[in-house]
A and B are shown apart, each in its own frame.
Chain A
């Protein structure tokens, strides 16, 4: 399948990735080649096959609603790019 530069730009926006014009060109070419290879899967008739999302049994993991990990405010906040007291500082969300 052919993939266009417009599609690459649109997907990049969905993925919140700012791409340079060179990256857009390269990805258009590379993703096109990769999707062409993926077409291999069309050789298989899967109309009656169930999809597999996870191997093994899937059971719900219930737990008590109580805090088990020690609060570690400082070590968690120390990784924040910007901090004010015990808050993470972020850019303005509503203009």
Chain B
């Protein structure tokens, strides 16, 4: 058995009992990366030197008794949107191609304090705008299950790195599905926590009312362990919420009898890949056999989520990205005056999708269109949130597919932005409502591509959705399947 193919919790036992060292484990990961990176292109930056130093430090920590936690000594990959002190953070954009992080983001800092080893920074859609990782300015990441397919996005590099055993676990960010959808496409577990559960300090802002940090892992137990390590209030993010972080891992059990899950009829409509529908329905019956009560519910405003999201998120993005003006950091184009410097730096520094979203956002915020688009979308956001408030009066969690199809072919949707946006239909509602939502593997289609099942929960009730996910994992073995690399 190769060390790189094990889970975080399995490796924690080995590290704790001194069967292996973090240095050994880190070498195993770098060998795996060397053997697979040519095919996958998961990383923008690899951190051989600093990772080896971190592994040595972790081994010192592990040699003393006490003070270690499950992530100690574990090699992790971090999406290139997190600031990591002394390491480049590009956000997969030419405008930040030479940006050296001056400090650590909070989630990264918390992991470092437990003694994790950062092996590299993963590829993504530029500024996290995309659903396929094809919008990276640097490289094309491929799905480990089929190299002709996309890994999903925007945290596509983190998802392929976990699925391809190039790291033990990874961090990503999710604004409209950017953790859950690539997790589904790559056959792994991905969690978007409740908005406010994890600090956003030190992640590059895309849409601030939606962005949230979360784990991508090989199974539910790892997901619970990693969430425990990164969650909590942070004075540096005033939207992080000051409520206690429960021990997610110790609440994992298969005792779900009496829990009620809602199946929203609006998520099972025509146009969906039949194999996805069947796998999710089969997943629901697995849970039913474990004692869960299943009921049909309605989330009537689901069909408006794409339109509302693609107004709100670009509006916030156009404002957040105004800071890239070529003055204090980032790319600066040579031009004859100040305005021209702004215009040319942004024209040359941003890729096509980022420009499109800046244009969309600027348009909907501009005089004459604000009420018709931006305000309207915010009102619809209220309606979508109310759908969930109503639904959760009668159930403890909601199950849906994570995405309407499995991973699509590279290039298939790049010419039609609206078609790309529509692939997010099932992940956007929980983002707009700020709810926690999890994706876990629940089967494969006829082409051998993984299918994801989404479990959405009540505010700050990650524990329940993790418990349902754990129960599902105990009854199935989809999470143990590995891509043929």
> Which residue on chain B has the smallest CB distance to residue A16?
B342
Q: Choose among B209, B310, B330, B366 the residue that contacts A55 (Cβ–Cβ < 8 A).
A: B209
> Residues of A within 8 Å of B, CB-based: how many?
51
User: Does B383 contact A19, Cβ atoms closer than 8 Å?
Assistant: no
22 contacts between A and B (CB under 8 A): A14-B366, A16-B322, A17-B347, A17-B358, A17-B359, A18-B343, A18-B344, A37-B307, A38-B307, A41-B376, A41-B380, A44-B380, A49-B383, A51-B375, A55-B385, A61-B235, A72-B103, A75-B103, A79-B98, A81-B330, A91-B338, A95-B337
Which residues of A line the B interface, CB within 8 A? Answer: 3, 7-8, 11-12, 14-20, 23, 27, 30-31, 33-34, 37-38, 40-42, 44, 46, 49-57, 61, 63, 69, 72, 75-76, 78-82, 88, 90-93, 95
Given the complex of chains A and B, what is the CA–CA distance between A61 and B308 in angstroms? 29
Q: Is the interface of A mostly helix, strand, loop or mixed?
A: loop
Q: A79-B329, A91-B337 are in contact. Are A51 and B379 (CB under 8 A)?
A: yes
Say yes or no for B378: interface residue by CB 8 A criterion. Answer: yes
CB distance from B339 to the nearest CB of A (A): 8
**Which residue, of A15, A51, A75, A90, has the highest number of chain B Cβ atoms within 10 A?**
A15
> Which residue on chain B has the smallest CB distance to residue A48?
B379
Say yes or no for B382: interface residue by CB 8 A criterion. Answer: yes
Residues of B within 8 A of A49 (CB): 379-380, 382-383
User: Does B344 contact A30, Cβ atoms closer than 8 Å?
Assistant: no
Given the complex of chains A and B, what is the CA–CA distance between A19 and B209 in angstroms? 29
User: Does A38 contact B239, Cβ atoms closer than 8 Å?
Assistant: no
Q: Work out how many contacts link A and B, with CB atoms closer than 8 A.
A: 150
Say yes or no for B447: interface residue by CB 8 A criterion. Answer: no
Say yes or no for B286: interface residue by CB 8 A criterion. Answer: no
Q: Is the interface of B mostly helix, strand, loop or mixed?
A: helix
Which residues of B line the A interface, CB within 8 A? Answer: 98-100, 102-103, 195-196, 209, 235, 238-239, 241, 301, 303-304, 306-308, 310-311, 318, 322, 325-332, 335, 337-344, 346-347, 350, 355-356, 358-360, 362-363, 366, 373, 375-383, 385, 417-418, 421, 433-434, 459
CB distance from B325 to the nearest CB of A (A): 7
User: Does B100 contact A78, Cβ atoms closer than 8 Å?
Assistant: yes
Given the complex of chains A and B, what is the CA–CA distance between A1 and B294 in angstroms? 42
Residues of B within 8 A of A40 (CB): 303-304, 307
Q: A46-B376, A46-B380, A79-B328 are in contact. Are A55 and B434 (CB under 8 A)?
A: yes
Q: Choose among A51, A63, A79 the residue that contacts B102 (Cβ–Cβ < 8 A).
A: A79
User: Does B327 contact A90, Cβ atoms closer than 8 Å?
Assistant: yes
Residues of A within 8 A of B307 (CB): 37-38, 40-41
Residues of A within 8 A of B329 (CB): 79-81
Given the complex of chains A and B, what is the CA–CA distance between A80 and B382 in angstroms? 41
